[in-house]
Amino acid sequence: MGDVVHVIDIDDPADPRLDDFRDLNSSDRRPDLPGGKGLVIAEGVFVVQRMLDSRFTPNSLLGVDRRLGELADDLRDVDVPYYRASAEVMAEVVGFHLNRGVLAAASRPEPLDLGDVLEKATTVAVLEGVNDHENIGSMFRNAAGLGVDAVLFGKGCADPLYRRAVRVSMGHVLRVPFAHLPNWPHDLDLLRGRGFQLISLTPNPRAVTLAEAMTGEKVALLLGAEGPGLTEHAMRATDVRARIPMAPGTDSLNVATAAAMAFYERVRIPR
Query: Is the peptide bond preceding residue 203 cis, with omega within 30 degrees of 0?
Result: no
Task: Determine the pLDDT at residue 253.
Answer: 86
CATH 3.40.1280.10-classified regions of the chain: 114-268
pLDDT tens digits, one per residue of 223-247: 999 888 999 999 999 999 999 988 8
Provide the CA 134 distance to its chain's centre, in angstroms: 9
Mean pLDDT of the chain: 92
pLDDT tens digits, one per residue of 79-95: 999 999 999 999 999 99
List CB contacts of 4: < 8 A, sequence separation 6 or more.
Answer: 72, 75, 76, 77, 78, 82
Q: 209: left (phi > 0), else alpha (psi -120 to 50), else beta?
A: beta
pLDDT tens digits, one per residue of 110-137: 999 999 999 999 999 999 999 999 999 9
pLDDT tens digits, one per residue of 177-204: 999 999 999 999 999 999 999 999 999 9
CB neighbour class for 247 (10 Å; exposed up to 12, middle 13-18, buried from 19): exposed
Is pLDDT above 70 for 3?
no
Task: Determine the pLDDT at residue 36.
Answer: 54
Per-residue pLDDT band at 268 (split at 50, 70, 90): confident
CA distance 156 to 166: 19
pLDDT tens digits, one per residue of 32-64: 555 556 899 999 999 999 999 999 999 999 999
Fold of 114-268: Alpha/beta knot (3.40.1280)
Residue 207 pairs in a beta bridge with none
CA distance 21 to 162: 14
Task: Determine the pLDDT at residue 28.
Answer: 38
Is pLDDT above 50 for 27?
no
Considering the segment(s) 6-107 as one domain, its CATH architecture is: 2-Layer Sandwich (3.30)
Is pLDDT above 80 for 220?
yes
Section 150-161 average pLDDT: 96
CATH 3.30.1330.30-classified regions of the chain: 6-107
Q: How many CA atoms lie within 13 A of 21 on its CB side?
A: 32
Per-residue pLDDT band at 166 (split at 50, 70, 90): very high
Of 149 and 35, the one with more pLDDT: 149
